[in-house]
Structure 1
Amino acid sequence: MKSAFKPVLGLSGVLIMSGWAMIGCDSKPQPAVVSQANQEKYDKLKTLEGLVSNDQGPAKTGLVKVLTEQGRELSRVELADSPRYSVDVPAGTLLPVILAYYPTADAGEEQRMITVAIHAAASKYDINPLSTRIAKQARALGGYTHKNWVRAAESFGTVPDNNKTTAGFRGDPTSQYGGWH
């Protein structure tokens, strides 16, 4: 028995079908765009603090600047014979902000270390070579968003050799649970 149904595609059907076919084309990941409406901000004066360390250990001299993503300086503080810093960020400041450490007042961008404040509730930010690598990777992934920060941090994560036995056990596996069982 022959079917009486004949598929007919008008111009609109052809356009819809070709639109569906094009959806899969050129589907490269697009960088994340943060709209101003979704950005967090500091509602009141916010104090950020942390430790600065470099490859040689704690940094006891230098300068910590709070910068916008565009590089405008919001505030600064000098380290005074201590690796600890505490710096105020003005109320109304949109996040993210960059916390940049410079070993000297005339140090260039290539000498700085950074970390990025992306959440208004957090106030402790250590600045070190690892935070700098994570920040650069997050920016390369599309910007300083929570998602990109987590992805960047995970890309630099390592598990120490002594932590590759039973869930979180550190030490000699022969002494775990009182020895081998």
Structure 2
Amino acid sequence: MATAELVLGLLADGPAHGYDVKRGHDAWFPDNRPLAFGQVYTTLGRLARDGLAEVVDRGSEGGPERTVYAITDKGRKHLADWLLDPVPPAWGSADEMLRKLVAAVRTGGDPTEFLARQRASHLRRIRELNATPTGDDPTSPLVREYTVAHLDADLRWLDSVMERITEQKEPRR
């Protein structure tokens, strides 16, 4: 995931401290894993080091010290370039689901139980997403639709793999 560029995108709306950046990210992607505070502060530090963001204020306002960051002109250019660059298709990548399936088959295990549990997990997640309102943010339905479409594609793949494995196990007549 391009965390640095997302943080730059969040800073494009105006200066913010780490807590605001984290909260903004989590609002942009409510159906995904929340961004960890440690990742936020590490990313902000790298962006400042690389001249893509800068510290514009340090204050405590009665609480803990908060460092406020702003995007620089160099950061705006980097963000604009990133937004124009298409994402390469994910050919040849193997995510954890595929790795587990291959390991189950290659080690002589029975992958059908894994496939059934994975399918149930995907169906449960789709039901959760469809049962939860997306809110007023105009991008939330886009994120939700993307996530559900990918889960649905995974389900079709899981079904085809289960069918293939089941056919291979059946005795030939």
Give the TM-score taking structure 1 as reference length.
Answer: 0.25
Q: Which has the larger strand fraction?
A: 1
**Which has the larger Rg?**
1
- With normalisation by structure 2, the TM-score equals 0.26
Higher helix share: 2
